[in-house]
Chains A and B, each alone.
Chain A
Amino acid sequence: MNQNDATVGRWLAANGPEADVVLSTRVRLARNVAEVPFTHRATPADHEQTIEVARWALADSGYMDSGKFLEGDELAEPQGQYLIERHLASPDFVASKAKRGFYVSNDETTSLMVNEEDHLRFQVLASGLDFPEAFTAAAALDEKLEGQLQYAFSPEFGFLTACPTNLGTGMRASVLVHLPALVITREIEKVLRGALHIGLAVRGLYGEGSETKGNFFQISNQKTVGQTEWEIIETIADISRQVITYERKAREYLMKKLRVEVEDKVFRSLGLLKGARVLSSDEAINLIAGLRLGVALGIVNEVNLEQVTRLMVLVRPANLQAMLGEKLSAAERDERRATFVRETLVHQ
């Protein structure tokens, strides 16, 4: 098998600004439709109506021409898990018992959840550190939707959301960064404390409550009231630029002082990925993260950043099964995963 069998979102192309450190930029907006109770208080009829309104609004503004809308059984497992692994839908959305609708653009940069905690939650993902790209696209969808429906809005509190933590701009902006050198040099806490200090949140690869697998960290805003969208974005972009500088300095330091150790870590990762016959999802992610550092540092040239980044998604359980077109047990998965990774890396 070769990896062309599997497509991944355009945002995983690892071709955006600062891609050696920043995997992706994400802007998410929360909106509610006026005069309809929030999702958890709404009736099934309300839920259906919101789905209908959203689908109609997306179709009328041309979004359906370059994407698809899923609902009902189309969102049942394993599709839900597949979307979570691709960072397109939230675990809460997938677990929800309410009637839901879901839109995703063909290139997987734009997605929209209907009847999550808020009626509409949509996001745009961009490769690397690229808020202009992500925010402009999110704002464009926001305007299109607003042309078709009336939002719950108050001049005092801004966009009204089910939970007051999302009030105001309704915006959560984040960057997903890979900071292996800061972790190895134990500088990571200092850097992350700086982000926390100015009111930003730091989480793991899969957002809230997830661990920091493979030294990937998500930095996002916590406050949504009292600052404009661009002020919020500037704060995160500023911190991101600092973090990028620190990480690169740490990488330089490692290459100067601990070159053998770094090379050892990188080539062990590559060796295991190429040679293992059984690979769990977590082990694969950690090894791929090690390999990614090697590629970013130019130690490994046989694969590029994009190939490594795509692997991160494709080795996840639901994505692996979708790609292979088979339902597999955990043991079967670990075996097939190892085969897939091996063939991908050996046949470059």
Chain B
Amino acid sequence: MKLCDLCGKSEATVKVSQLDKDGKVTEISICAECARQRGFTEVEKLKANVAEIITELKNRIDEGDSKLICQTCGLSYAEFKKQGRLGCADCYVSFHDQLVPLIRRIHDAVQHVGRTASGGRKQAQQKMNAHRLRQALSGAIQDEDYEKAAALRDQLKRTEEE
């Protein structure tokens, strides 16, 4: 039985590490009574607090996640959690960090392998690009950003001529 380093009377049950000014660590073993007198008995309580803090943090993260909204389709993460279906392809970007652990749970993997989309026939892609540019162009005009609008118009012209 190891006796308390402080009182030398009772059994030492608590290990205390002390860090002095020079960064040197000294470890002492003390008994429960000495630990209580010096305030070290908070250890157990502290452990409970850590669990509470983690739960609280998790709740806050969950709460934060629930408030996330996909900018493209307006679906909130809370709605997704309720109905299990995403609103659009961009939801996979908007909720990326939340979805990764979920996808891993379902599939034991996250990275896709196998067939890939070639992005469609070049023509289909051009149509899609032109559509995107037209949208950006009308946005720029609305924002009265004429410099950007001019650049977009030129880009659109090039796309359509290709």
Contacts and interface: CB of A to CB of B under 8 A. Distances in A.
B38 to A, nearest CB: 53
B89 A34 contact: yes
Contacts of A16: none
B114 A168 contact: yes
A163 B111 contact: no
Contacts of A32: 89
Contacts of A159: 112, 115, 117
A169 B128 CA distance: 23
Interface string B60-100: 00000000000011010000000111111100100000010
B128 A223 contact: no
Contacts, number: 123
B118 A146 contact: yes
A226 B109 contact: yes
Contacts of A117: 85
B86 A163 contact: yes
Interface residues of B, number: 34
A147 B107 contact: no
B116 to A, nearest CB: 7
The secondary structure that dominates the B interface is: loop
Contact of A34 (B83, B114, B128): B128
Interface stretch (B18-26, B49-57, B119-127, B154-162): B119-127
Nearest to A145: B120
B110 A225 contact: yes
Contact of A37 (B87, B111, B113, B118): B87
A148 interface: yes
Contacts of A154: 89, 92, 112
Contacts of B107: 167-168, 223-226
B124 A158 contact: no
Contact of B89 (A146, A160, A199): A160
Nearest to B79: A41
A59 interface: no
A323 interface: no
A228 B113 contact: yes
Nearest to B99: A164
A296 interface: no
B85 A163 contact: yes
Interface string A210-238: 00000000000001111111010000000
A35 interface: yes
A316 B162 CA distance: 55
6 contacts: A40-B85, A148-B120, A156-B111, A163-B86, A223-B109, A227-B114
Given A159-B117, A227-B113, 4 more contacts: A34-B89, A41-B73, A162-B86, A231-B114
